[in-house]
């Protein structure tokens, strides 16, 4: 057994309401816990898939006027699906597919802040 286990991953977001709506519609993720600063300077919402313990932390900083620097968008979150065709159709209808690699059988969607999420077929 490893001394370390994955717990969560963070994306900083510009608009929590918009981001929560996107993650709910695109990936079925729902809030599992929240934390807000007493002074209102930030809010954090952890979302989960309801099937695993992994959580995505969405952090909104009140005084962050510029867009987040996402580098070359080489880092990403990956999620698998048991129905690749239905997932692709849904994301195509949402207009959030930003890159496809049919040879590898994967594609990426982009959230409202420009983060990429890789969609892979369930290979388990």
Picking from 100, 77, 102, the residue whose alpha carbon sits closest to that of residue 27 is 77
| Cβ-proximal residues to 106 (8 Å cutoff; 6+ apart), any chain | 100, 118, 119, 120, 121
Res 107: pLDDT = 96
> Average pLDDT per run of 10 along the chain, which is 124 residues long?
80 95 97 96 96 94 78 78 95 97 95 93 78
Task: Indicate whether this model's pTM tops 0.85.
Answer: yes
CATH 3.10.180.10 fits 8-63+73-121, yes or no: yes
SS3 75: coil
For the chain, what are the domain ranges? Answer: 8-63+73-121
Res 59: pLDDT = 95
| Count of residues making up the chain | 124
């Amino acid at each position: 057994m490893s001394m370390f286990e994955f717990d969560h991953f963070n994306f900083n977001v510009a608009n929590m309401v918009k981001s929560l709506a996107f993650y709910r519609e695109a990936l079925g993720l729902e809030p599992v816990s929240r934390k807000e600063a007493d002074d209102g300077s930030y809010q954090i919402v952890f979302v989960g898939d309801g099937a695993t313990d992994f959580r995505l932390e969405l952090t909104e900083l009140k005084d962050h006027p510029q867009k987040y620097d996402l580098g070359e968008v080489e880092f990403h979150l990956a999620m698998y699906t048991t129905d690749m065709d239905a997932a692709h159709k849904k994301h195509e209808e949402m207009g959030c597919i930003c890159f496809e690699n049919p040879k590898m059988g994967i594609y990426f969607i982009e959230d409202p802040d420009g983060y990429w999420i890789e969609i892979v077929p369930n290979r388990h």
